[in-house]
Amino acid sequence: MLKRFCFMFLLTIFIMTNKSSEVFAADFKIDVSQTANGIVSVTGTPGAKTVRVQIQKEGEKLKYTYLYSKTNQNIYPLQLGTGKYTITVLENVTGNEYKKLSSQTVNVTSISEKALYTSSIQLVDYKNSKTTINEMKNLIASAKDENEKVMIVYDYIISNFDYDYDKASKLSQGSSDYLPVIDSIYSAKKGICYDYASVLAGALRSTGIPTKLQMGYSSDIPNQLHAWNEIYVGGTWFKIDATYDTQVKKANLEVNIKKPDNKFTIVRYY
């Protein structure tokens, strides 16, 4: 049965306000020098408490909140387009309450969409995934064009990966801070939908093919949060769902790589 393909959390946090003049810790630095490429980065040394990075664009209700990771790159996308962004570093106080450690506002006047969606970011960290990326590059070395590269990577994943039901079950009962580590997923040849989408995005981005990781809902998997990809080839964006197609192929049913947009409801994208 094709069910329970993905488990993901959407995090809500509360920021404590400081009514006196704000004084931020100097331990974390926010780098906005690459905003034209659609990314910002944060560096610092967290203590025992959880640190998160929150990014909000002026005029947008949606905030993107990330874990400050000790394993993946702390590089984050500015996927909401040009405008004024505020990047805030937060430290957990108790429960869902956080205090500000650092904050910076930047006015972004231009973004290269290709640079944005070929960047190695926290959720698609291919720069720290040399084993996977090298093997994928060898696989596509003989490809004649970008369409063939996409097909080779996609076919390899849906033919060799399995859905990790144990991981899905454990994550559903635990922390919301899971991040895909591409080399670990590739080595295990299994993962949840978030993992599939991260591996595929990393493989394609590393070759210069713009690829989005999208999260939300699919009509093929009702009432379950899900993750898939959107790829730019030949002047057109199209969606693919490697997790779902892995199961379709295992059931010996016909697989169609390109999915219609109306099958998906996007909640967040990277």
The model's pLDDT over 243-270, given as tens digits with 9 standing for 90+, comes to: 999 999 999 999 999 999 999 999 999 9
Q: What angle do CA 70, 202, 197 make, to 5 degrees?
A: 90
27 falls within a domain: yes
166 falls within a domain: yes
**Residue 238 has which token pair?**
């199209």
Query: Would you list the DSSP string of 173-189?
Result: TS-S-----HHHHHHHT
């331990």: which residue's tokens?
Answer: 27
Q: Are residue 134 and residue 61 in the same domain, yes or no? A: no
Q: Are residue 52 and residue 21 in the same domain, yes or no? A: yes
Which amino acid would we find at residue 188?
A: A
105 falls within a domain: yes
Q: Are residue 158 and residue 236 in the same domain, yes or no? A: yes
187 falls within a domain: yes
Q: Supply the range of the domain harboring residue 237.
A: 130-269
pLDDT in tens, 65-82: 999 998 899 999 999 999
Residue 235 carries which DSSP code? T
Q: Where are the beta strands (DSSP E) in 180-258?
A: 190-191, 211-218, 221-233, 236-240
Q: Are residue 134 and residue 198 in the same domain, yes or no? A: yes
Domains held by the chain: number: 2
Would you state the pLDDT for residue 167?
Answer: 93
Would you state the pLDDT for residue 133?
Answer: 95
Q: Are residue 82 and residue 152 in the same domain, yes or no? A: no
Low-confidence stretches of the chain (pLDDT < 50) are 1-5, 7-9, 19-26
**Dist. CA 240–CA 233, nearest whole Å:** 12
Instruction: Single out the residue in 111, 142, 162 at which a domain terminates.
Output: 111
**Dist. CA 226–CA 221, nearest whole Å:** 8
Q: Are residue 234 and residue 107 in the same domain, yes or no? A: no
Would you state the pLDDT for residue 177?
Answer: 85
Would you state the pLDDT for residue 172?
Answer: 81
Contact predicate 107/84, CB 8 Å: yes
Contact predicate 27/45, CB 8 Å: yes
Instruction: Single out the residue in 111, 138, 173 at which a domain terminates.
Output: 111
Q: Are residue 221 and residue 147 in the same domain, yes or no? A: yes
Would you state the pLDDT for residue 5?
Answer: 44
CATH number of the CATH domain containing 76: 2.60.40.10
Instruction: Single out the residue in 79, 111, 143 at which a domain terminates.
Output: 111
Q: Are residue 101 and residue 134 in the same domain, yes or no? A: no
Q: Are residue 106 and residue 138 in the same domain, yes or no? A: no
Q: Are residue 98 and residue 184 in the same domain, yes or no? A: no
124 falls within a domain: no
Q: Are residue 230 and residue 194 in the same domain, yes or no? A: yes
Which of left, alpha, beta for 234 (phi over 0: left; psi -120 to 50: alpha)? Answer: left
Would you state the pLDDT for residue 27?
Answer: 80
Would you state the pLDDT for residue 51?
Answer: 95
